[in-house]
Structure formats: C-alpha cells, structure tokens
A and B are shown apart, each in its own frame.
Chain A
C-alpha cells in the first residue's frame, strides 16, 4: 500500500459483485477510490476492502506478478491487478472476474478445472536416461535450455484462458497454458515422456481445437508465448499421425 504518497485524485471503480448467499445474479457496485500515481489496481481493491467494504472478495498474494493469483478483467482485458496501475485507467474503470470461468464469488473464479488440465499432461520429467543423484546433474547446453525455457516461465495466472475464444466456446479445450506446460516438458532434453503426452495433444480437446487466434500470447504477462507451444504441437501431432500410418510405425 502506498503509505506516504498523497492520494490527490479519485477513480470510480465499477466492480462486478456476486455474493452467492444473497445475489441471484452478478451486479455492479461502484466505489470511489482516492489514488496516488504509483497505486496498482490491487492496492485500490485492498483499499476498498480495508476502508469501505470488507465484503469484497478477491485473490491476491505476492504483489509482484509472480504468484499468478490476481488475474481479472480490467476494462474488459485480462490483466494482473498487481501490475496494472490506476493512473493508466482514466477517471473510471470496470473490474470483473476473469472471463470464461465460473464465478464463485465477486472476483473469485473456479481454478480447479485449470489445475486438473495441468495435472493431465504429465507435468514432470519422465527421464529419458535415468540418473542417480551421485552421478550429478544432467548436462544441458544453453541451446537445449532455450528449447523449453520460455514455456517454463508460465505463472498459471489463466489470463490466456480468459482471452481464448475457443476455451470460451468449449471449456474442455486443454487451452494455451496447459499446452505451454506440456511443451515445456516435451521440449526438455532430459525428458522422454513425449509419447505419453500425445493423447492430450491430439485428442478432441487438444491442439486441433485451437483456431490460431494468437491472443493468448498477446495477453500473457510473462511472454510465455503459448500460441507458439500450440503451433509446435500441431506440427508434432500431424507428423505423429502420418508416422502411425507407415508400415510398422508407432509414432515419433
């Protein structure tokens, strides 16, 4: 919270509220929030909760865009509240829960389905060549790291799912974030689990559901580029399909 800076300006924050015990449907509530130029949207919400209305619920923790908790729609765009600043929003702004997810309460949406998708792609190293601790670390050249490193930067904030029209239309679509994580392991020189993950890629809710809109990469706050992960797996899945057709072929 900005403690010493004077809050000389005021923004009207129109926040979508939904309290399951008392609301039949989501309704907007507007709060006047004094702000200073260094105040984030998260700090504005905290100030509402602390000083005006303790019933407003939202998730947050790290305040520095690494824990992935505070994704929400800010003026219609999926953003992290902690690194979006009130000064950039104008005299009024609209805050809503992440699009495409069921609302549990106020700005809190259901995360469990996304986490199950992550769990479904075997998100761990299946050693290509098992190695004991005594044998030490695997060698991995900078070029080998570059093949997967950006995909390992995903903070699971789900902004890409909120932006993805395919996920909006089909909630079973594996989606950009889980596909980036899948590629993070498939692209790792230590991993030999590619074949295990093929069903998640090529199944009916896999990469082919993606229509290459590419907005997932645009909204990603960490430049993970999930669209690139999806594309790489489309190529891989197509190759796998043709290899299976070859005599004696069982895929790549």
Chain B
C-alpha cells in the first residue's frame, strides 16, 4: 500500500472542501494539504445548487433580520451563537467569491443583485442566474489550482478513517482507476463530504450523495446530531426528483392545485397577492410548503402524472424573457426532461428529499469531539439550520464554515505531534477487499431500493410511530442482509459494483441514525412532523438536539444535548398574515 504523510487531509472537494483547502493554503503556505474526492471536484453535488446564497446586502436589511429568519425558520433548534457568527460572515464570503470571479448576477448599474427566497424577510440571496452552485463550485475549483500546496487525489474513494490514540490521523482511500489502496496520514483532518439524501427513494441529489463522511465519523464514535430533520424540497420533478429551484417562486412563480387554486392560502400562508410577499404564500419555508402538498394530495386536489400526483408550478406570468434571463436551467430542464415550455405551460412538481439538516456533531468552530477532526458543509451539524434549513443558507454555510474548518485544521496541525502509524490502514483495506469475495447471493441494488422505500414510508413529510418503528426494523434487517451481499464484479480497476456496495453500507448506518432519531422525538418541529398524538412542538422536553451514537450491529443509542439560546426566545413560528401579527407583538 502507498502511504503519504501530509499536514492536513480534506475529505471531499465540493464547495466546503475546496473552500477549506483554499483557506488552509492561504494562511499556511508551508503546510502540505491532501484534497481527496471520489469524483473530480467539479462533479461534486454543490454543482446542482440552483437558487443562490444568502448574505445581507441591501441598506434596509440587517444581520439581525437574517439571524431571526434563520432561527425561526429552524423552529428554534439552532445554536444561536453560531448563527450570529454565520450571518456576520456571509456577505464577506460572497464578496470573496466575487473577487475570485463568481459571475453573480448584477443590476443594470453593475452592482450585485439579490433575489427573494422562502422564509427570508428581505431579499438577500446572491445568485448566478439559476446555476449558483455550479458557478460557486467551478470558481472555487479553478481558484484552488493556484495553490501549489494543495495536492489533489481525484477519484479516490475513502473506505475508512484512521484514528490513533484517540485522535484523527488520516484515512484509507481506494483509487478508483486501479483498485489499489492508499493511506494518507495527517496531523489534522476536515470532512466535507456532503449530505445523504440518496437514502430516500425520491430525491434531488446526485448519485454520489451517500453520506460517506457522516458514516465514517459515526462509526468512529462521533455522534450524528439532529438526523431526524430531513428536508423535502417542495418543487421537484415527479419520478426523478430533479430540482426546480425555489428561485422560481423568488422570481414570482405560483403554486396551484388541479383547480388552478393557490392552495397555500389554506395552510396559514395567505393571503395570496399577485406578487408574493416575502414570507407569505409561495415564499414560505420549505417544510411548510411540502406539508401543504401532502394535505392537497389527501384531499384529491393534485393533478395526475405518469409518475404520480403533482401540483403545478406556474411561471407563465413571468414571461419568456424573464424566465430565460433568471431561470435558464429551469427552462432547459422542463423542456428536455418533460417537454414543457414553462412560459406557456405550468410545470407539474412534487416534494422530494433535498437536504440533511443534521450531521457530524461539531462545535461552532467546526471541531468534532474526536481530536483533530473538523467538519463543514452538509455533512456537518454546526447548528445553524435547526429543524428546517432556509433556502440559500447552505451555499453560504459551505463558504463560511468551509473556510473556518480549513483555518482550524491549520491551527490544530501546527500544535499537534506527528501521528502514530499502526497497522490500521492495512486492516481497513483488508476489510474493504473482503467484500469482493463475499458470498451470499444478495444483490445490493435490491437492498438499496428497499432502503429508499422504507425511508420514504417511515420518515417522509409526515411521520407515525408504528411506521417509523417498522422502518427501524426494516433497516436492521437490511443491515443483516448486507452481510450476505455478493458482487457481480470481482476485479479491481473501476469496479463501481464494489464502490456502490461500500456506499450502501454507509447509507444503511446513516439511515438508521435518521430513523431512530425520528422515532425518539415525540413532538413535531420543523421538518419532523408527527400525526400520532405528537402534533405540537414540545419545548419542555425537546428543545434539545438529538445525538445518535453508533452501536455496531445493534440499534443506535439516542441521547440529547442542549440548544444554545442567546437573543431569540422560542416563540410561535408563523408565516403569512399570522406571522406578521406575531412579529408585531414582539417588537
């Protein structure tokens, strides 16, 4: 096995990993940095983010407004000191991306433009048409090539972390092209491997979004926090789950049911107006809009498509020119995948899983309980999203906390001793290799489909105790069957049969953490909504973060940790006209 020694190892080269690498290389040019990704960096799923990234810009907007929107949007399950840190640093990070070339959309006078987004009181979403994540990712990737100290390991797949003497000490990688193993030993590490939405059947995520880093940290004793909070994005393509950005509504789009009625009025989001007001109707938060779909479906007010029930995303009144300028990707997707011109026909949409609010437990400085291990981006739970993330806070998060994680990894590496090298790397490689010769006759594709179906059934938009229990049982059974998976492909070079099987192992662990955390939370909050006697938020018992601890073949153990409240006491979470009343009462 090949061994490398570096100062800092970064797993994942999407937005957060690249931002961390650039930050580390900038503050410590003398340090060696290994940047590892299972794909070429520009394939990372940051590429698919469409709508934009938050940062207070307008003179009538304030950091306090961004703070309040984020904390109430998260149903008060946010680390408020971390949110304060976050909102202060969003705009400088967006400016930094601008200096690096990110083609943010502009006003006619050449200044940055911002658009409205769900749950945000004032327009503060920086955007690059509807390819914001694509442009952020390519800007960061291209900028990273300036730094000679960043050594990339493209298409290297991490099979395990190295932990020595209670400290993160590196990782073991499978080189996809050769099927050979490489160990990278590091004084400090950043995990930035993204989310885990692929554990659900219908989702907006790319195939690579399999929760690898979450599972790896979890297996090494780091708890996963708030995993029950999984975001359904309300406007996705039926069947594939491909995303139609919230910016469709930020630019003025409507949601209608089969009767043409703007049904959100019936769910505490009205009154409807010709141009949706911020935090009203179509500009409500994602959890509420997805829940409204669920009710419309049960009332029989959806349109039928070959891929099941849908409501209609109506952009016709925006006109062809505006759609082309602001939403070119949406237009392309609708035309190519559905044969629809959104300027003349409303687009059938439905909710699909989009984002994991929870993740690897880290403090407000991105440091995990495992010494030397930091995490940033969707894989982490730094505490800003609470029970429901607001659109455009995740691209800002990967910038703000990716940078911080890179700087923190530098600081740790500077003061840390060199790591010990035991035979752990060889043992990890041997374990991964054993899967190649494993016999038992189970096809992992079958297990993956069953996982997606049971997660959708038990941990969907609304949840019931017995159904969550059944999902937990099914997942335990799938883990048992996983031990009997046999592969078609026994070769080494580009064996994607092998890699996706290892990913499935990661996914099963992550989905178990989600399902058990959901079952244990006997209240409703944000994206976690129950219909079995726990319909209300219960601050007395559950204004607490859940913590899932890995227990090997046994079910995870669920514990709880405190929530940091600084200046926003938990209050009623309301939107539309009621939201305005609640806010007026608090001023």
> Which A residues are within 8 Å of any B CB, using their own CB?
1-5, 19-22, 36, 38, 49-51, 53-55, 57-69, 83, 104-106, 108, 111-112, 115, 118-119, 123-125, 127, 131, 133, 136-142, 144-145, 148-149, 152-153, 155-156, 181, 185, 188, 190-191
Contacts and interface: CB of A to CB of B under 8 A. Distances in A.
B43 A69 contact: yes
Nearest to A156: B42
B488 A127 contact: no
Interface residues of B, number: 63
B319 interface: no
Contacts of A57: 489, 494-497
Interface string B451-491: 00000000000000000000000000000000000011101
A38 B142 contact: no
A8 B374 CA distance: 50
Contact of A140 (B44, B106, B134): B106
Contacts of A108: 494
B494 A68 contact: no
B42 A145 contact: no
Given A38-B239, A137-B111, A63 B206 contact: yes
Contacts of B202: 3
Contact of B112 (A118, A125, A137, A144): A137
Given A19-B491, A57-B494, A112-B154, A64 B110 contact: no
B365 interface: no
Nearest to A20: B493
B336 interface: yes
Contacts, number: 172
B96 A5 contact: no
B135 interface: yes
Interface string B527-538: 000000000000
B307 A124 contact: no
B103 A127 contact: no
A121 to B, nearest CB: 10
B100 A137 contact: no
B100 A133 contact: no
Chain A CB count within 10 A is highest, among B131, B207, B243, for B207
Contacts of A124: 100-101, 142-143, 145-146
B29 to A, nearest CB: 16
Contacts of A64: 48, 242-243, 333, 337
Given A5-B306, A61-B39, A69-B43, A149 B103 contact: yes
Contacts of B40: 111, 115, 156
A118 B142 contact: yes
B555 to A, nearest CB: 28
B445 A50 contact: yes
B298 interface: no
9 contacts: A21-B493, A49-B497, A50-B445, A61-B208, A65-B336, A69-B43, A105-B493, A124-B101, A148-B103
B106 A152 contact: no
Contacts of B39: 59, 61, 67, 69
Contacts of B103: 145, 148-149, 152
Nearest to A127: B99
A58 B494 CA distance: 9
Interface in B13-57: 39-40, 42-45, 47-48
Contact of B332 (A65, A123, A149): A65
A136 B145 CA distance: 24
A175 to B, nearest CB: 16
A233 to B, nearest CB: 18
Given A3-B307, A38-B306, A118-B142, A67 B100 contact: no
A138 B488 contact: no
A163 to B, nearest CB: 20
B325 to A, nearest CB: 10
A3 B239 contact: yes
B320 interface: no
